Structure 1
Amino acid sequence: MTETKCPVVIVGGGQAGLSLSWYLCRLDVAHVVLEARTACHAWEDERWDSFSLVTPNWQCDLPGHPYRGDDPHGFMVKQEIVEYVQGFVKSFDPPLRCGVRVTDVSRADGGYRVETTDGVYVAAHVVIATGAYGEAVIPGYASAIDPAITQIHSQAYRNPHALPEGAVLVVGSGQSGAQIVEDLHLAGRKVHLCVGNAPRVSRFYRARDVVDWLADMKFYDLTVDRHPLRDGARDKTNHYVTGRNGGHDLDLRQFALEGVDLHGSLKNIRDDVACFGNDLAENLDDADRTNANIKASIDAYIAREGITAPTEAPYVPVWTPDGGNASLDLKAAGITSIIWCIGFRPDYRWIDVPVFNGRGQPVWHRGETEQPGLAFLGLPWQHTWGSARFSGISRDAAYLAGRIVGRPVPVADASSARLGALV
């Protein structure tokens, strides 16, 4: 295999890897970005048709490429997101090689050997920017379910019409699960939802998007080392809410009023009978409590700053469970599809460097591991809430670029697209 020496190899050509490339290009650091598919693969091929951002457009702030549209408080839909990322790529022409999959990363001669499907790279610095969505989680017992029932993971869901006729069981009530339930419900499908412990948040409160309030409260500047949960923040499930049709709350209780069957968390499926935990009421109450706590923090901020804002009555549950069913016969309920919305697990089996803990997760500080020159980028709460999002990846990329060149690199903003503004 051909062997190429390159100072920096970035593995992953999504928004994280490209953001680091943007800084390295302006710092005149030779590098290559290796992407197994395309820069927009995750957005184009692993999101459903009606997908939209749950954060407002003004938070889209890739380096040198902030949102410049006419709807900063709106929510980009799938195609607009793809066009935004494509525009970022075109804005600086990175050394991006698509269709090249990395098969092994190992130590070699004071640096790293990166084996790919198109040759070998030897580099002093390797940055893993493949994101947090390594391997879709589907429980082992799923293989024993009658094959006549279609099973897909949330990343493979596209629209209600792509599923067989009949009722649908959605497992997991995080962002993906809650939004997919709404998509199915609006299309008139019969839906059963296994409700987990995901928290929820209101879209708007006291006449503003909650995200705007939290930004003013400096929540998005909170670093993980100052978070009350410290590293535990990385394990928390995202709050469910939606940006669909201008944004609104997702209230599972309202779905229940309208005919969606809610169940407790799924324990197992045996002989095509689903067994649920006795935790439906608890999970709904906990989600509402989280939402109420966020509102209370906004209330305290408004009072402390002397801000004039309309008041809002406390939320009153519109539906409460009567105990719920302990089990459900899938065939008797007419269920023909199951959508697993229970997340992902890391998959770094191709990295042959000792930087992982017992759960297979990389150990790092601000992305840097204990192995000199090996770093990660684009992971949840790598430094702040926005580390895995359009809003915060630039800050993390600037930090790692600075570590590579040996001097601090300022974070880009809308006016710093030129090299002279950075060095």
Structure 2
Amino acid sequence: MNENRVPHYPVIVVGGGQAGLSTSYHLARHGLDHLVIEKHRAMHAWDTQRWDNFCLVTPNWQCDLPGHPYAGPDPDGFMRKDEILAYLTAFRAKVDPPIREGVSVRRVTPRAGGGFLVATSSGEFSADNVVVASGGYHEPIVPRMAERLPPAIAQVHSAQYRNAGQLPEGPVLVVGSGQSGAQIAEDLHLAGRKVHLAVGNAPRCARFYRGRDVVTWLADMGYYDMPVEQHPLREGVRDNTNHYVTGRDGGRDIDLRKFALEGMELHGVLREFDGTHLVFDTNLAQALDEADKTYNGINAAIDRHIAENGIAAPPPSTYEAVWRPAQERPRLDLAASGIAAIVWCIGFRPDFRWLDAPVFNGAGHPRHRRGVTAQEGVYFIGLPWLHSWGSGRFGSVGRDAAHIVTHIAARAGQDGATRDRAGQDSAA
């Protein structure tokens, strides 16, 4: 196909989730013609990759997409799945983006004369700028050992889990204790299922402390606005696992030790299946202690904030373990345990193979500074810790989108030589 005859846009946004539509909102405000391309339908992941009892883990007041702040009756509550979908549907209606749904981007390649050729399942386009808004959670991670498990055992990834009723009767093994794993384990536990949980190194935090939601305290303390460059771990913080907590039933802690007292069986990290036994690390006690250390450490930081600012609040407290493993079990006979299903909650890996640009590190993750890459005209939005802890939340993705669009608008008003210098400076 003659590249000069394909439809051209100053900006093509790949991905129609909240990040892509936030970008569309700001592009429209700048008067920049653009196209949003979405593989499925806008916001589809919130509907198709969340379980029935899913709810936000951050208070509703933090939902502040561009031009669309939360306006419901419960700002300190936690929206459930149907409320989230309604909120996002209303956001899409406000943005009214120029979007093509059900279209897959197959390849993005630089053009010799500048800009990019975007090959899709619906034909080719060209663009001066490409904004990657497809997130970083593309391929569900399931270990190779899953192939060796008996075929009678049902296996689903967290993205496929909906409710306890979809799984066959019998005990369920949940692998992973990050936000999804801990909440799915709780969902099954509350449904009366026997649960085995393989616990990883995820930290945890309190839901409420000293009279307020912990998120509210941390927001006041500036934690969600701290740029990645100022974090002690720098870019390494992007590899951190989120703290497990829940907004279910008005919000509460997730205490795995309490679950153990109630009959949930906790194990260390699942390492192998030897044909008969599931093999676990003997790290359970350490993992629980480390999670509690983070929990108490966050609360201690809140204590200091309260003291330094003379804030009136209920007295401080320290979490004390309500259960400890008497003896860790490194091996579990799969047949004898009766486990009928496994829910894999060990995350996703990114897949940006369709983007032909030198903007990735050795692990396949984008290299950028607040979404601006060293490749002129290539941007990312919607990644965890794109700029700050808040970048992956409804409250801050709009600010990141505004930053990127301002950069694009500046490029659009500059000559080629100036644009080259601006792109190099931004990626430094």
TM-score, normalising length from structure 1? 0.95
CA contact (8 A) 1:196 1:283 kept: yes
Q: State whether residues 172 and 196 of structure 1, in contact with CA within 8 Å, keep that contact through their aligned partners in structure 2.
A: yes
Supply the distance in 2 between the matched residues of 1:334 and 1:398 (Cα, whole angstroms): 53
* Deviation (angstroms), 1:140: 1.1
**Counterpart AA for 1:55:** T
- Tell me the number of residue pairs that the alignment of Structure 1 and Structure 2 aligns: 408
Report what 2:68 is aligned to. 65
Letter in 2 for 1:6: Y
* Structure 2 residue 119 is the aligned partner of structure 1 residue 99: no
Give the drift of 1:407.
8.2
Q: Choose the corresponding residue for 1:175, options 176, 179, 193.
A: 179
User: What's 1:117 paired with?
Assistant: 121
Tell me which amino acid in the other structure corresponds to 1:330. L
SS of equivalent to 2:272? strand
Residue 37 of structure 1, aligned match among 37, 40, 48: 40
Partner of 2:297: 293
Shift of 1:322: 1.1
Q: Distance in 2 between matches of 1:407 and 1:293?
A: 44
CA distance in 2, matches of 1:104, 1:141: 32
From 372, 375, 383, the equivalent of 2:376 is 372
CA RMSD of superposed structures (Å): 1.2
1:272-311 paired onto structure 2 within 5 Å: 272-311=276-315
Query: Out of 247, 253, 262, which is 1:258 matched to?
Result: 262
Gaps (5+ residues) in structure 2? 413-428
1:158, 1:272 → 2: CA distance? 29
Return the alpha-carbon distance in structure 2 between the equivalents of residues 403 and 272 of structure 1: 57
Deviations 1:402-423, CA, capped at 9 Å, x for gaps: 0011189xxxxxxxxxxxxxxx
Query: Which amino acid in 2 is paired with 1:86?
Result: T
Distance in 2 separating the partners of 1:273 and 1:113: 51
Q: Deviations for 1:344-393, whole angstroms, at most 9, x for unmatched residues? A: 11111111222111111111111111110011110010101111210110
3-state SS of paired residue (1:274) = strand
State the distance in 2 between where 1:220 and 1:386 align: 5
Farther off after superposition, 358-367 or 66-75 = 358-367
Q: Of the candidates 320, 342, 349, which is equivalent to residue 345 of structure 1?
A: 349
Partner SS state of residue 44, structure 1: helix
Distance 1:168 1:175 in 2: 18
Question: What is the letter of the counterpart of residue 94 of structure 2?
Answer: S
Q: 1-side partners of 2:17 and 2:99: how far apart?
A: 10
SS in 1 for 2:189: helix
Task: Provide the C-alpha distance between the structure 2 equivalents of 1:269 and 1:33, rounded to a whole number of angstroms.
Answer: 44
Alignment of 1:123-138 (within 5 A): 123-138=127-142
8 Å CA contact 1:131–1:388 kept in 2: the answer is: no
Deviating above 4 A after TM superposition, structure 1's stretches of 4 or more consecutive aligned residues are none
CA contact (8 A) 1:104 1:116 kept: yes
Instruction: Give the drift of 1:132.
Output: 1.6
1:361 aligns with 2:361: no
Query: More deviation in 324-333 or 57-66?
Result: 324-333
Q: Which of the residues 156, 164, 167 maps onto 1:160?
A: 164
Note the C-alpha offset of 1:272. Answer: 4.0
* 1:319-334 alignment, distance < 5 Å: 319-334=323-338
Given that residues 200 and 290 in structure 1 are in contact (C-alpha distance below 8 angstroms), is that contact kept between their aligned partners in structure 2?
A: yes
Q: Decide whether aligned partners of structure 1 residues 219 and 334 sit closer, same or farther in structure 2, where only a CA change above 3 A counts.
A: same
Contact kept, 8 Å, 1:39 with 1:85, in 2: the verdict is no
Indicate the SS of the match to 1:151: strand
Match of 1:76 among 71, 76, 79: 79
The alignment-based identity, stated in percent, is: 57
Q: Which amino acid aligns with 1:144?
A: R
SS of the counterpart of 1:262?
Answer: strand
Within 5 A, what are the aligned runs for 1:194-209?
194-209=198-213
Give the TM-score normalised by the residue count of structure 2. Answer: 0.94
Deviations for 1:168-202, whole angstroms, at most 9, x for unmatched residues? 00000000000001100011100000000000000
Q: 2:161, 2:182 → 1: CA distance? A: 13
1:419 corresponds to: none
2:174–2:344 CA contact under 8 A, matched in 1 = yes
User: Partner of 2:253 in structure 1?
Assistant: 249
The answer as to whether partners of 1:145 and 1:270 remain within 8 angstroms in 2 is no
Select 1:240's aligned residue among 241, 244, 261. 244
Conservation of the 8 A alpha-carbon contact between 1:145 and 1:272: no
Contact 1:146 1:272 in 2 (8 A): no
* Residues 8 and 126, structure 1, Cα contact 8 Å, conserved in 2: yes
SS in 2 for 1:161: helix
Secondary structure of 1:401's aligned partner? helix
Q: What code does the residue aligned with 2:148 have?
A: A
- Residue 388 of structure 2, aligned match among 357, 381, 384: 384
1:18 matches 2:21: yes
